[in-house]
Every structure is written in C-alpha cells, then in structure tokens.
Structure 1
Amino acid sequence: MDFRKIDNLSVDCVVLRLEENTLKVLLRKRALNLYDENSPVIDDWVLPGHYVLKSNNLGETANRVFKELTGEDHLNKNQFRTYGNAARIKSDKDLLWVRSRGAKVRTITVAYYLIVASNKDLLDMDDSLKWFKLKSLPQLGFDHHQIINDAYEDIKGKIITDPLIFDFMPIKFTLNELQMAFESILDVELDNRNFRKKVSSKSYIVPLEEKQKGVSKKPSRLYMFSKDVYNQVVETDYIINK
C-alpha cells in the first residue's frame, strides 16, 4: 500500500446523531500555537477527515475515518457534495494549518455523512472529539459550517422518501420515538393519528411481540425496520406527509 497522501485531495465526514431528540454533529478539536506573535493561535473545531492516500479511493478514505470513530468497516455512508472553490481556504488560521500539514492551499474536499444510531457509542471519545448541537455550533475552521449545513439539507431532502430515519434509531423503537425523530430532524410538528396510520401501513416497519422496559408509564409496543422487506416493496410514496 502506498501511504503517501495526495496533498490537495481530502475527505471530510459529517457524523450525525439524535440525542434526546436533538440533532448533533461530531467535531474534532483543532489547535496550534507557534508562540510567534506574527502567527495566529488556532483553537477551534473541524470535521473529522483525512487526506486521500495514493493507494486509496474516496470511499476507502471515508471508511478509514468512520472506522477510527466507530470500529466498523461497512457503514451506510452517503457522499453528498464536492468542494473545490479556489477561495475556500483563505483565513490566516486556515492557511497556517494547511501549511503546517505540508498540504496544498488549493484543496478539493469530497464530503460524506454518516448517521449514528442514538444508542451507539463511538470509540475513544477523548477531549479532542465532542458532540455539538447542530443549531449551536462553535467556531469552525475552513468552510465546515457550510459543509454541515449542506449535509443537513441533503438529509432533510431524502428522509421522507428514503429510509435514512432508521439509521438514527436503535434497532428496536416505539412509534412515538420514530415520530419524535422525524419532528426533530425536519423541525415540524406531525399529527400523531395520521403519522401512526401512515407508518402502520408500511410492511417494512415490523411490530414485535415486545414492549418497552424500565419506563414509569404504560410501556409502548416496539417495532423494527426490515431492510429486506423494504428492498422488496420499495415505493414511490412518502413515509410521512409534511
């Protein structure tokens, strides 16, 4: 394997999850202090990513990032956009960071997003990694704010017709949890009765002979998403109506 990097081609990864019905994104701390009064101090956040190795393609590079975070090889990643504007790296901090890494100022970035289930823990969540609310992001490097917004818009555009919502869910979930997930991501309020009627008609949302455990109120029935059934009966109508 050729471990040399292509120094003007990178992959950035938007990792998203729902936590207490709030959409969050995973960011990595970016810090650099050259103790030079002519050089800016870098202390902000960026998306997890890597430069592409000469022996890797784009998908393999994204897999490398996601495996470092999740420990899994085969994930349902989504490539959604490429960023190659000549002026995308222009601030003093960004220029210093790129040069400190021996990379090119003109860099093309291919962006992927990965949805992590609400009950899944990531590997090695040290101080350099942190979940932030999508609506309350810290100071970000490069054009990563735009990349995050574009990932979110892509998800909102697909989540009604594609089964992306189930990537946010634990394997077993209640209809109420599913509805709250839709409402949180789309920032809408859905009619409970209509939602349940619509969802109950979908053969790939499978009712189980199980109910919630450890809840103080009356436990609700649990359901699972069947990808096999979905692939057999994939439809053109929406899972929900906005």
Structure 2
Amino acid sequence: MENSNFSEKVIEALSIDTVIFGFEASKLFVLLVKHGEGKYAGKWALPGGFIKYNESVDDAAYRILTDQTAVRDIFLEELKTFGEVQRYPDSRVITVAYYALVNKQNFELNAGASVSDVRWFDIHEVPHLLFDHNDILSYGFSHLKHKIQHEPIGFNLLPRKFTLLQIKELYEAILEIELDKSNFRRKLIKMNLLVACNEKQKDVAHRAARLYRFDESVYNNLLRKGFVFEV
C-alpha cells in the first residue's frame, strides 16, 4: 500500500488482532467489530489491522483497538503469532494476537475507522468471523482458562468489595463449569488471598452474604509467582 507519508505506510505482511474478553453479571463476552467498507463490509471480526512502519507492534495493538472501538487504557498481553499460509485470502499475512480481560461496564464503545459497528457478544453466541478469527478466539479462550488456574484474576473485574458468589461466578464463566461452593470457598481461603470485610451486602432481596476484598500484597505476590488452582 503506497502512501506519500512514510509514517502512514503499513506493513501489509504483518497485522494485529485483539481478543478482548469482557466480564459482566456472571457472563463472559468478547468484543467484535463489523467491517464497514471494502469487500469485507458487513462481516464481523476481531478488532485488528495493519502495523505502520513507524510504530512498534505493541503501539500498533493499542492504536488499532482504540481507533476501531474507543477502548483504551487497558493492559494488552501478547497471545500468539498466527501464520498459517492460507489464513488471509489473496496475500501472505502473519498476525500477532493480543488479549485482555476487562470489566465491560467500564467502557463506552464507539465504532471508529473503517468500522460500522462494535459490540460485545456472549462468548457462546459468537457469529462466524473473518479469516481465522474464530480460531484465534478459541485459542485465546483456552489460554484464559489456563491463566485463571495459575494467576489471580478479578482485581479489575469485581467490585472493591465482593461476595464469594461473585468471584465463583467469574471462575465459572471462564472455566464453563459449575463449581462446588464449599470446595471453592475452602481453596480460596487457604490461599490467604481474601480478606473478610466484616460487613454484608446491602439492599438485596435474598439473605445478605458476607463481603470480601482482595489482599493486594498477596494478590501481587501470587501474580508474580503463580500458583496451581485445581478445580
């Protein structure tokens, strides 16, 4: 793709795709965009695009995500490079995939450059996506399932004070299984990750549950060292 402005040139052999998982109300979602122009107009895909000559791969990931969805100020982690020969029609394109897990309530979406729509989809109701994006999403979801059993997750997804049911629902949404309440509670307490707040939920129709918060020092230590959380 030729352009008189060198800073706007893109490397057509290398692209970025982002898998943004969102958690809300015990459900897991993924952020998708609908292409708004060209031969792929009307097709859903992961947020993605080509890297410019004058930017790093990381910078490209943040730029593309923000330009297309208005999502910003999140931590993107590199997931994997996908380079199957036939993954992109009519051209040889390798893509570097990034991913993140966020609280979807914290973001106001806005369809940006070359995008006609941007929307959260329930992870179990994802349409057929362009290129190999369903495969990239599947890999990202599997990686997330592994990650939640080896690193603490939830600091930015749950309220500052939460119930054991809320964190249990987070694990169940990602792992796609129903967890035994007593066993889950026992494992969490054993990790010394939670601190009882000595207060209960307010304004609930059912019996009020005790509130907890994360012990930030323990959380950060487990984030560095990792652990094995068997379900």
What is the aligned counterpart of 1:24 among 29, 34, 47? 29
User: 5+ unaligned residues in a row in structure 1: which ranges?
Assistant: 34-39, 96-104
| 1:22-46 C-alpha deviation (Å, 9 max, x unpaired) | 221111012447xxxxxx6742201
The 1:125–1:18 alpha-carbon spacing in structure 2 relative to 1, beyond 3 Å, is: farther
The 1:236–1:20 alpha-carbon spacing in structure 2 relative to 1, beyond 3 Å, is: closer
Correspondence 1:18-57 to 2 at 5 A: 18-32=23-37, 42-57=41-56
Asked if structure 1 preserves the Cα contact closer than 8 Å seen for 2:97 and 2:136, the reply is yes
| 1:88-141 C-alpha deviation (Å, 9 max, x unpaired) | 113xxxx5xxxxxxxxx2111100111111542334369601111222211311
| 1:184-220 C-alpha deviation (Å, 9 max, x unpaired) | 2111121111111211233332332443233212222
How far apart are the structure 1 equivalents of 2:199 and 2:56?
A: 43
Asked if structure 1 preserves the Cα contact closer than 8 Å seen for 2:51 and 2:60, the reply is yes
Q: Could you tell which deviates more after superposition, 113-122 or 61-70? A: 61-70
The letter of the residue matching 2:34 is K
User: 5+ unaligned residues in a row in structure 2: which ranges?
Assistant: 1-5
| TM, length-normalised to structure 2 | 0.83
Asked if structure 2 preserves the Cα contact closer than 8 Å seen for 1:44 and 1:138, the reply is no
The letter of the residue matching 1:172 is K
1:9 aligns with 2:14: yes
Asked if structure 2 preserves the Cα contact closer than 8 Å seen for 1:9 and 1:108, the reply is yes
Asked if structure 1 preserves the Cα contact closer than 8 Å seen for 2:9 and 2:53, the reply is yes
How far apart are the structure 1 equivalents of 2:200 and 2:65?
A: 33
The letter of the residue matching 1:121 is F
The 1:232–1:132 alpha-carbon spacing in structure 2 relative to 1, beyond 3 Å, is: closer
1:179 aligns with 2:168: yes
| TM, length-normalised to structure 1 | 0.79
Deviation, structure 1 residue 58: 1.3
How far apart are the structure 1 equivalents of 2:111 and 2:191?
A: 37
Q: Equivalent residue for 1:140?
A: 129
Q: Equivalent residue for 2:108?
A: 122
SS at match of 1:208: strand
How far apart are the structure 2 equivalents of 1:204 and 1:67?
A: 33
Asked if structure 2 preserves the Cα contact closer than 8 Å seen for 1:80 and 1:151, the reply is yes
Deviation, structure 1 residue 163: 1.6
Deviation, structure 1 residue 47: 0.7
How far apart are the structure 2 equivalents of 1:125 and 1:166?
A: 28
Q: Equivalent residue for 2:3?
A: none
The letter of the residue matching 2:95 is T
The letter of the residue matching 1:29 is K
Q: Equivalent residue for 1:102?
A: none
Q: Equivalent residue for 1:80?
A: 79
| 1:117-175 C-alpha deviation (Å, 9 max, x unpaired) | 15423343696011112222113111100010000010111111112344443333211
1:59 aligns with 2:45: no
What is the aligned counterpart of 2:178 among 189, 209, 213? 189
How far apart are the structure 1 equivalents of 2:196 and 2:61?
A: 34
Q: Equivalent residue for 2:144?
A: 155
Q: Please provide the CA RMSD for this pair.
A: 2.6
What is the aligned counterpart of 2:95 among 98, 109, 115? 109
